[in-house]
Amino acid sequence: MRRLPPLSAIEAFVQVARLGSVKAAAGELSLSSPALSRRVQTLERFLDRQLFERRHHAMVLTADGESLLAKIAGPIDELSNAIEATTGAQDLMRLRLGVLPLFASQRLIGSLPELREEHPDLHIDIDTAAHGTSRLGDGLDAAITLAQSIDPALYARKIDHNIIAPIASKELLANGKPITDPRQLSDLTILLHRDMPETFRHWAKAIGLSDLQPGTEDHFDSGQLMLDAAAQGLGVAFMLDSHLQDAHDDRLTRLFDHDVESAYSYWFSCRPSALQTKPVRLFHDWLFANVCRQTAVKDGARPIPEAA
């Protein structure tokens, strides 16, 4: 039987080929970039073939590399599945999910019993710390984040299209001086989330009031606290219309009639290879079938990577 190259070198080659980046592949395999590069070089020396063209921030397969990937990617995945089945890893599926606290409380937790009933073997570890996308492959399998855009190296799908909503206490409107004109915000405090700092500027520009300056700006790192502050009459919270709808708080109302699409949206994201794993794929499909609004599935998604 002919001697084979190290399995670790083959695994490194497949990950780099699929992700197109040493850094991304290193994250998937919990290695440093230099260590992963050495594994790829080991395979190239063994085969006496150059498998990649090294470009700035990218690794592009050569013809030899493409030929090798086509032949071994399937068997490697079958081997991985066989190992999982043998060790019993498939008996219990676990998803490590990063999600913002407000999305989790308003839209996710209440629907999880349905997910548990549909997939009783799927268990979810929920992490509400910030910077979810930066920790994908390093503690997180998938993340639901609020952002303007997602790193193009990741698989990403937009969850909602949202309108910016100036949210205020109904009592603020009943104090004898109703707020009917956006220019009145020059005498009021506005509340902004640190993850959505440009929301007010974007809204003011869209309605033709680029020079509008609020009385003051208060910043929060918690969406729920923003809603509570607005309900207490502490200011006008510039958030998303979904935040108001899902709050189900009779103390709150939306000001003005301007429909301005937000530059910020909720996104589901993961590493492309992660979407090929059963826990991530099951949760992804369930999320967009049961939790997300129907307008979200029309666009805003990158092509789903096909399983090798």
Q: How far apart are CA 134 and CA 279, in angstroms?
A: 20
Q: Are residues 281 and 134 in the same domain?
A: yes
Q: Are 264 and 162 in contact (CB under 8 A)?
A: yes
Q: Are residues 132 and 275 in the same domain?
A: yes
What would the mean pLDDT of 178-201 be, rounded to a whole number? Answer: 92
Q: Are residues 186 and 48 in the same domain?
A: no
Q: Are residues 13 and 65 in the same domain?
A: yes
Model pLDDT, residue 301: 53
What would the mean pLDDT of 189-201 be, rounded to a whole number? Answer: 93
Residue 172 has pLDDT above 70, yes or no: yes
- Is 1 domain-assigned? no
Q: How far apart are CA 145 and CA 152, in angstroms?
A: 15
- Which CATH number is 117's domain given? 3.40.190.10
DSSP string, 92-138: SEEEEEEE-HHHIIIIIGGGHHHHHHH-TTEEEEEE--S-TGGGBTT
- Is 244 domain-assigned? yes
Going by pLDDT thresholds of 50, 70 and 90, the confidence category of residue 1 is low
Model pLDDT, residue 292: 77
Average pLDDT over the chain, rounded to an integer? 86
Q: Backbone phi, then psi, for 261, in 5-degree steps? A: -70, 135
pTM value? 0.64
What residues pair up with 98 in beta bridges, in sequence order? 127, 143
State which amino acid sits at residue 28: E
Structural domains of the chain, count? 3
* Ramachandran sector of residue 119 (left: φ over 0; alpha: ψ -120 to 50; beta: rest): beta
Q: Are residues 196 and 183 in the same domain?
A: yes
Going by pLDDT thresholds of 50, 70 and 90, the confidence category of residue 281 is very high
Residue 89 has pLDDT above 60, yes or no: no
- Is 40 domain-assigned? yes
Going by pLDDT thresholds of 50, 70 and 90, the confidence category of residue 138 is confident
Residue 13 has pLDDT above 80, yes or no: yes
Residue 74 belongs to domain spanning: 7-87
Position with higher pLDDT, 97 vs 300: 97
